[in-house]
Amino acid sequence: MTIETNHPQRNLLAELVKLDVQEKSSRGLMYTPQEILQQPATWKSTFLRVSEHAEQLQSFLAKSLSESATVYLIGAGTSDYVGRALTSILRERWHCNVTAVPSTDLITEMESYVLPGKSHLFISFSRSGDSSEGVGVLEQALREYPQVRHLVVACNENGRMPEMCTGLDNAFVLVLDDAVNDRGLAMTSSFTNMVVAGQCIANLSRLAEYESTLDALVRMGKRMLNEAAPIAESISEMHCQKAIFVGTGSLAAVATECALKSLELTAGSLYTMSESAMGLRHGPMSAMDGETLFVSFLSSDERRLRYEIDLLKEIHAKGLGRVRVAIAPVANEGMRNLCDHTIVLDAPAGFPDDYLAPVDVIFGQILGLFASINAGLRPDQPSPDGTISRVVSHVKLY
């Protein structure tokens, strides 16, 4: 990985993890830094967890999928973005209609999504397995639509959602290692591990081949942790008032998750937005001013990349933004001198965008962590008045 920056290579993330327990506790840093740092190592554990259940999963999916099946990837907030990051992989592998639907929509509109006479598979993603909407969707579907089949992917074996589906003929429960049941408010390792689990599920019949893809992700993830930290630290010290994240295709989910991380870890003091490279010009670009951070997650696909480079050229020519960052799988001469910081992942040749989410999102996680610290907040619980909580479990459902 190469970085074009003049900032000294100090790794604040590693320093935060090494603080003594008392200081971590007093500063609200007990969990979040470690949960970000542990990610590449935990991806291998998730791969092994799915591998252990591969035969049972394949049997369950064989009964659940057909070319006429409709698959909904369900979650709220970050768990919804897990589904968005996996949609194209699963659609390609399963050759059927796969759509990410937020549980916050499904809970109020389920009758318009479950069509009579059609086969449906609900894949629910949840860190806690206890969110109000996730539990509510399962309860309603099990009660009113017994023909729907369910796959629950969660990080908490004691959650209500795994409990409700365990032992049912039309359901399968995959619980990841407790280490990725993030204790901090912001989902970090839980997000990337549920994405990796989804990638494994998409490749159940070719897990040995996927393992080489995962090995590449682990290598890129470790280097991203080391190399992105100095850039994110220097940017956070600029106290930008806005941040705009852009990604195309599956990387749009990365942009959306990064925007959420910076928003929730700064308790809303940093205004954030996410868009596609093509969509930014249609109004949202008007938000870019001299206090804006702009981050572009670039594609490995040559055609998509042309659109993204054109956008960088336009933003550069117009002098928009206070600081611009590009994260690219491989080096490209077209992006030279267009950004203040460029991170090149040195991905293997032909590495597809659909698998990059666990690595690319780390930049936004680290940025959100450092911005939280610079805002004088406690990253493990940045909302001083409790506006948001780690688990949304208090919503009244009707």
Residues 109 and 134 in one domain: yes
Per DSSP, helices labelled H in the chain are 12-17, 21-27, 32-37, 39-52, 54-64, 78-94, 103-113, 132-144, 160-165, 189-202, 207-236, 251-265, 302-318, 357-374
* Domain containing residue 171: 39-202
Other CB atoms within 10 Å distance of the CB of residue 119: 17
Q: Return the pLDDT at 388.
A: 66
To which residue do tokens 């928009």 refer? Answer: 320
Identify the domain boundary among 137, 172, 202: 202
Q: Return the pLDDT at 1.
A: 41
The count of domains in the chain is 2
Residues 101 and 12 in one domain: no
**Cα dist. 334→303, 328, 342 in Å?**
13, 11, 12
To which residue do tokens 């956070």 refer? Answer: 236
If you average pLDDT over every residue of the chain, what do you get? 94
CA 317 to chain centre: 31
Radius of gyration of the chain (CA): 20
Q: Which amino acid makes up residue 339?
A: C
Residues 285 and 173 in one domain: no
Q: Return the pLDDT at 393.
A: 64
CATH number at residue 197: 3.40.50.10490
Q: Is residue 32 part of a domain?
A: no
State pLDDT tens for residues 167-193.
999 999 999 999 999 999 999 999 999
Q: Is residue 161 part of a domain?
A: yes
Rounded to whole angstroms, the maximal C-alpha distance in the chain is: 61
Q: Is 194:82 a contact under the CB 8 Å cutoff?
A: yes
Q: Is residue 117 part of a domain?
A: yes
Residues 72 and 182 in one domain: yes
Q: Is 231:370 a contact under the CB 8 Å cutoff?
A: no
Strands 2-4, 341-344: parallel, antiparallel or unpaired by DSSP?
antiparallel
State pLDDT tens for residues 123-175.
999 999 999 999 999 999 999 999 999 999 999 999 999 999 999 999 999 99
Identify the domain boundary among 202, 236, 263: 202
Residues 119 and 252 in one domain: no
Residues 83 and 152 in one domain: yes
Q: Return the pLDDT at 391.
A: 72
Q: Return the pLDDT at 117.
A: 87
Q: How far apart are CA 220 and CA 329, in angstroms?
A: 9
Q: How far apart are CA 18 and CA 372, in angstroms?
A: 18
> What is the three-class DSSP state of 339?
coil
Q: What b/e readout covers 350-386, taking b as 16+ CB neighbours within 10 angstroms?
A: ebbbbbbbbbbbbbbbbbbbbbbbbbebbbbbbbeee
Q: Return the pLDDT at 335.
A: 85
Q: Is residue 355 part of a domain?
A: yes
Residues 251 and 171 in one domain: no
DSSP 380-391: TS--TT-SS-SS
Per cent of the chain over pLDDT 90 is: 89
Q: How far apart are CA 149 and CA 141, in angstroms?
A: 9
Find the helix or strand (DSSP H, E) in which 266 lies: none
The structure's pTM equals: 0.94
DSSP state of 17: H
Residues 191 and 236 in one domain: no
- CA-nearest of 260, 372, 388 to 32 is 372
Q: Return the pLDDT at 332.
A: 87
Residues 233 and 177 in one domain: no
Strands 271-275, 242-247: parallel, antiparallel or unpaired by DSSP?
parallel
Q: Is residue 28 part of a domain?
A: no
Q: Is residue 396 part of a domain?
A: no
Q: How far apart are CA 174 and CA 271, in angstroms?
A: 35
Find the helix or strand (DSSP H, E) in which 300 lies: none
- CA-nearest of 81, 42, 2 to 364 is 81
To which residue do tokens 């993890």 refer? Answer: 17
Residues 90 and 225 in one domain: no
Residues 53 and 185 in one domain: yes
To which residue do tokens 């690219």 refer? Answer: 328
Q: Sign of the CA dihedral 17, 76, 255, 224?
A: positive
Q: How far apart are CA 362 and CA 358, in angstroms?
A: 7
Q: Is residue 136 part of a domain?
A: yes
Residues 279 and 341 in one domain: yes
Q: Is residue 74 part of a domain?
A: yes
Per-residue pLDDT of the chain (398 residues; tens, 9 = 90+): 444 444 446 789 999 999 999 999 999 999 999 999 999 999 999 999 999 999 999 999 999 998 889 999 999 999 999 999 999 999 999 999 999 999 999 999 999 999 988 999 999 999 999 999 999 999 999 999 999 999 999 999 999 999 999 999 999 999 999 999 999 999 999 999 999 999 999 999 999 999 999 999 999 999 999 889 999 999 999 999 999 999 999 999 999 999 999 999 999 999 999 999 999 999 999 999 999 999 999 999 999 999 999 999 999 999 999 999 999 999 988 888 999 999 999 999 999 999 999 999 999 999 999 999 999 999 999 987 767 667 776 777 77
